[in-house]
Each structure stands twice: as C-alpha cells, then as structure tokens.
Amino acid sequence: MTTVEAANAEARTLERRKPPARYRRRQFLIAVADHSLLIAVSLMFLAPFVFIALTSLMTNQQALSPRLWPEPFQWGNYVDVFRTAPLWRYALNTMLYAGLATVGVLVSSIPVAYALSRLRWRGRDTVFVLVLVALILPFQVTVIPVYVLFAKLHLVGSLWPLILPNFLGDAFSIFLLRQFFLTIPEEYADAARVDGCGEIRILCTVFLRLAKPAIAAVALFEFLFCFNDFFGPLLYTSENADNWTLSLGLAQFRTIYQVEWNLTMAATLILMAPVILLFFLAQRAFVEGVTLTGVKG
Amino acid sequence: MTSAPVAGALPAVVVRDRRRAKRKAAWRRRGLVLLLMSPWLVGFTVFFAYPLVMSAYLSFTHYDLLSAPKWVGTANYRYLFEQDQQVWPAVKNTLWLMVVFVPAQVLCAFGLATMLTRARYGAGVFRTIFYLPALAPTVAATLGFVYLLNPGTGPVNVVLEHLGIPTPLWFDSPQWAKPSLVLLGLWGIGTMMIIFLAALIDVPRHLYESASLDGANAWQRMRWVTLPSISPVILFAVVIGVIDSLQYFTQAYVAAAIASGQAASEGPTSAGYPEDSTLFYPVLLYLQAFSYFNMGYASAMTMLLLVVALTVTVLILRSSRLWVFYAGARR
C-alpha cells in the first residue's frame, strides 16, 4: 500500500514537473529555430555584398570564370577604376546636385509645413489635400511639359533642372515635416507668443530646435534620393557627359566604357560605401525617419 | 470675446481704433501665411498644375519639340488603345508587378519584421543587416544583381549548380527576367520592414495576453490580434507599393541595358530586353517621349497613367474601410 501511494505521489510530482520541463525544452527549441532562420536569412541578405566585394578584387579573367574566391587579391582594381572613368567628376556633380537640392528642400519645405500645421487659415485643408495628391501621383504625369519648359530655357544638359524645383517645396518633405510639427505641443509656441515672439521667430527658434529629428530625416532622405536618382540625370544630363552623376555614370560603365566586371563591381561598391557609412553615422535619424513616414500613414 | 459692457463703456473712437487694429492684424497674418506658403504656391503652379493642364492639351496634339504642337484630336488615344503593339505588353508587365511584386514585398517585409520581434538575441544586428541593402543605390544594386545572376559564371548559378539545382537564365530569359527583378526588389525591402517592425512593437502586449488566456493559438493571435492592429500599416505598404510599381523604371531600364550589353543612353534598342519582358509602362513612356520624341503621344500615355493611378489609389482606399481597423485611441 505504501509503495503504491509513494508511486502515486511520485507520478503526481512527475506530472506536475513534466509540463514546465517540456515547455522549457519547447521554448528553447523555438528560440533556436527562430535564430537559425534569422541567421540563414541574414546570410542571404549579406551574400550579394560579399560576392560583389570578392569580384571587385578578382582579375578580369577570374571574374568571368566560375571561381568565387579571388586569387590573387587584386587591390589595384580600386585604383584602376578611377582611371577608366571620370569618377571624381561624377562624384562632384552628385554632391552638387544632392547638396543644393537638400538645402533647397529644407529652406522651402519647412515654412510651408509650419503654415500647414501651426497656423489657422481658410483653405488650409484643401492645400494639404493638394500636397497629398502631388505626392501620390506618379511623377511621369508631369514630366513632359516640365522637360519642354527646361528645354525652352536651354537648361537641358545641365544640373539645374534637377536642382531648381527643390527650392519650390517638395511634397514628401512637406508632408513628413507637417506630421511632425503637429506632434509638438502648442504650449511651447504659446509660451513664446506670450514672451512677444513673432511667428517667424517662433518657427526659427522653437520649432527648428524641437523638430530636429524630423528635419534631419528629411535632409537625409532628400540627399539619398538625389544620390540614388537615375531618371532625373538620365533625362536631363545624358547628352552632356560632363554633368553625369555617379548613378548615371555607373550605369554606362559596362556599356559605353566597356569596363570589365571586376572594375564595375569595384565601382558599385564605391557607390554603396558612402551611403552605408552615412547610415552607421546617423543610424538613429534613419530609423526614426523611416518610422515617421509610417506613423499615421 | 471681450465682454460687451466693457466695449460699450468705451468711447466710439477707441472701438473703431480697435477694429482697425484687428483688421490690420488679420491682414498681417494673411501676409504671413502667403509668405510662408509662397515656395509651394509657385512650385505647385509651375511644376504640377501647369504641367498637368499642358499634358492634357498635348495629348490631343502631335508634338516633337522642334515645331509647334499640331492639333490631331483623339488620334493619339485611338492609336494608344487600338494600334500600338507595345502598349499591351507594357500594361501586362506593370500589372504583373502589382499582382506579384507588391504582395510579395508586403509579405516579406511583414515576415522579416515578425522574425525580428521574436529574436531574443542580436535583434539590433539582424535589423541592421536586413535594412542595409535598402540603402544600396538603385543603379549599384541593379548592376550587382545582373552580375550575381549572370547565367554562365555568376555566383548564384555557380552555387545552384553545386547544389544540383537547375540554373535559370535570369535576366536573359523572358520567363525569369521579372522574377529576377523581384529578387532585386526583395533584397531592398528594409525600409518597409522597419515600418512594419515599428507597428508590430506598438501592438499592446495585453491584447496578446488576454487572447492567450482565452485559448487562442499562435495562428489565431496573428489573425485576430496582430493583423487588425497593424492593418493601417498594411494599407500604407500596399498603397506605396502600388504607386511605386506604376513608376517602376530604373531597375528595369538599367538591368535590360546591362544584360543585353547595350549603352543605356544609346537609345531604345535594349529597353524591354529580353523580348519585351521588362518593358514596363514607364519604360515605354520614356521611350516614346524622350527617344522617339513623340511628345503628344507620350502625353496621352501619361493621361492614361494618371487615370489609372487615381482609380487604383481610390479603390484601395475605399476597400480599406472593409479591412483596416483603426483603434479608438488613434488621433
């Protein structure tokens, strides 16, 4: 009898203990599976970078062979690539385009976003809807008359058709800044008003300081957009190689310059490097900015 | 607002002065709004409203940029809908993007974000790795993929061959060119993933807990808690995806040019390579407008694009009432 009772008691404790153990084992296996999957997918996301980097260090014959590991490592490719095409020239044009466009967007979009979010006036909501419409419609819808306009001004072939429109407001930046301005409590502005601040001074002192993350995000996005832009430079500068940007120049690498794959991959990596560097320097601004676009989307 | 008795007690001159001052202040405020809005007013007029009207006008003309536009009535539209052999393939390719690429993008972004929320270790590192490709400039990423996927000696096919998996011709095959572009697009999914991740983190914990207490399994929690909570973000991702697929140009244009070994600025010969499989509507539009300089005809094409973009966006937003759930607390 006692043995049966003891056995029963043992069974009961076993029963009681079993679920946690099984549960723990299951949780552990799930965690292992989750992380294995994450590692596998990460490798897939990293693989293109790795293969591009490896190819950029190969000799040309090797780049055209099925071998994957460079033998020998030809570091000279990164010097040669600057001799095959005027990369510095392209870089300068890109900086000119991206830099001036970013300045333009900030100077023009901040006041507009302020008026659309913090001032009350008739027609404000209609204007905001128009901003959204301009944001949503494909840019191709307006591209032909704009091209004709710049052609008549004899600006096709230069970088100005790419830069100038940015000084007249950019729908995406206006939208993003407005959304952020709306989250700033009115009390800050009121306090400044009580102290005798005019609206413009409120914008310049209070809002510019409080909206720093949003402004940084807008500047980053605009800069990256210009850095990546291919359609704009293709449309306006393709006839004038002196004004090519990095994106446009790189696209012509294989074709006009007949550059080998190893050098092309070196140039590809050179184009990716500044952006990735920028990301690690300003990671917070990036993630905050991206999140900002999604909030209340 | 000022109580009437006080105003009534004041002499008429003071009241008049006050009114004048108020009116002056109102004018000054209007001037301020006008000043702040002026960049947008000019920009919207010159770079949006005027081009839109001009496009509509040009679509009824024959215009080659050299001589003045010549009125041709609806001839452009008739050619567009009845005769142009390239329009239908281009429309079909763009539709393919909307039907295959956009859902794939949304699913993968959602999947990656879900995986990240489940990571106990190294979530930050994984997030960075998934996000990095989104930063790669479009042209650079496209060039990289054309090389990686080149049929003969590209690393992907080398690896596939080692594993004994059949090796497709990727960008050189009419069947595989679009899937190759999808792979390229999915590699750069990071931005959308971050948006999903932020939404997933915002889903209130207690909803999951009460669902678990009610006996909901993982799938049910996903279906009845996660999806409704993040449905506004799904809507956002779908709208952005559809708008982007209507404008899809750079990747297709560059990939076709590089894969076919032609100069990207040399003209229309390479666009759509192979066999018009990457001839998307914006690519055809570009060719018509800026390679053949059929500006009138291309304007008619932009008008069609305008109508389609508006219709699709309105349809998606309308349908969203049925499946997007806004929590009461949302401002």
Cβ–Cβ gap A121/B115 under 8 Å: no
CA distance B7 to chain A (A): 23
Segment B203-231, tens digit of pLDDT: 888 888 899 898 888 889 988 999 988 98
Q: Is the peptide bond before A72 cis (omega within 30 degrees of 0)?
A: yes
User: Contact, A94 vs A245, CB < 8 A?
Assistant: yes
How many angstroms separate the CA of residue B38 from the nearest CA in chain A?
8
| 8-state DSSP, A260 | -
Q: Residue A42's pLDDT is what?
A: 94
Q: Give how far A137 is from chain B: nearest CA, Å.
A: 7
Same domain, A105 and A212: yes
ipTM reported for the complex, 2 dp: 0.86
* Same structural domain, A91 and A38: no
Question: B1: pLDDT confidence band, cut at 50, 70 and 90?
Answer: very low
Shared-domain flag, residues A47 and A92: no
If asked whether residues A43 and A120 sit together in one domain, one would say: no
CA trace torsion B199, B97, A176, B37 (10° rounding): -160
Q: Which residues of B touch A118 (CB under 8 A)?
A: none
Which one of B29, B34, B36 would you mutate to disrupt binding with A, by most A Cβ within 10 Å of its Cβ? B36
Calculate ∠ Cα A226-A229-A234, nearest 5°.
125
> Top-level CATH class of B82-323?
mainly alpha
- Domain assignment present for residue A200? The answer is yes
Residue type, A111: P
pLDDT of residue A6 exceeding 70: no
Average pLDDT over residues B172-188: 92
Q: Is the dihedral of CA A263, A231, B241, B269 positive or negative?
A: negative
Identify whether the C-beta of residue A229 lies closer than 8 Å to the C-beta of residue A163. Answer: no
**Euclidean distance between CA atoms B218 and A263, whole angstroms:** 50
Q: Domain boundaries in chain B? A: 4-58, 82-323
Does residue A67 form part of some domain? no
pTM more than 0.95: no
Confidence class for position B263, pLDDT limits 50, 70, 90: very low
* pLDDT category of residue B268 using cuts at 50, 70 and 90: low
Q: Does residue A268 form part of some domain?
A: yes
Within-domain flag for A69: no
Chain B nearest-CA residue for A278: B135
Instruction: Examine the domain organization and report whether A93 and A194 are in the same domain.
Output: yes
Q: Are A161 and A237 within one domain?
A: yes
- Quick check: is A64 in a domain? no
CB-closest option in A138, A174, A199 to B40: A174
Q: How many CA atoms lie within 13 A of A96 on its CB side?
A: 18
Domain total of chain A: 2
* pLDDT per position as a tens digit, A237-251: 988 889 999 999 988
In the block, tokens 């806004």 appear at B326
- Which one is predicted more confidently, B16 or B46? B46
- Which one of A20-29, A56-65, B289-298 scores highest in mean pLDDT? B289-298
Residues of B in contact with A239 (CB under 8 A): 265
Residue A185 belongs to domain with CATH number: 1.10.3720.10
Q: Where a domain ends, among A56, A75, A97?
A: A56
Does the distance separating the beta carbons of A51 and B233 come in below 8 Å?
Answer: no
CA distance A14 to chain B (A): 25
Which of B64, B110, B147, B303 to mutate: most A Cβ within 10 Å? B147
Same domain, residue pair A106 and A219: yes
Q: Is the pLDDT of residue B46 over 90?
A: yes
Is residue A23 assigned to a domain?
yes
Decide if A267 contacts A87 (C-beta within 8 A). Answer: yes
What is the pLDDT averaged over residues A156-172?
A: 93
Does residue A76 sit within a domain? Answer: no
The rounded mean pLDDT for chain A is: 86
Taking each helix axis from N to C terminus, what angle separates B102-118 and A2-56, rounded to the nearest 10 degrees? Answer: 130
- Write the pLDDT tens digit of every residue in A75-126: 888 888 888 888 999 999 999 999 999 999 999 999 999 999 888 888 899 9
Range of the domain at A254: 85-294
Rounded to an integer, what distance in angstroms lies between the CA atom of residue A54 and that of residue B271?
A: 30
Residues A156 and A39 in one domain: no
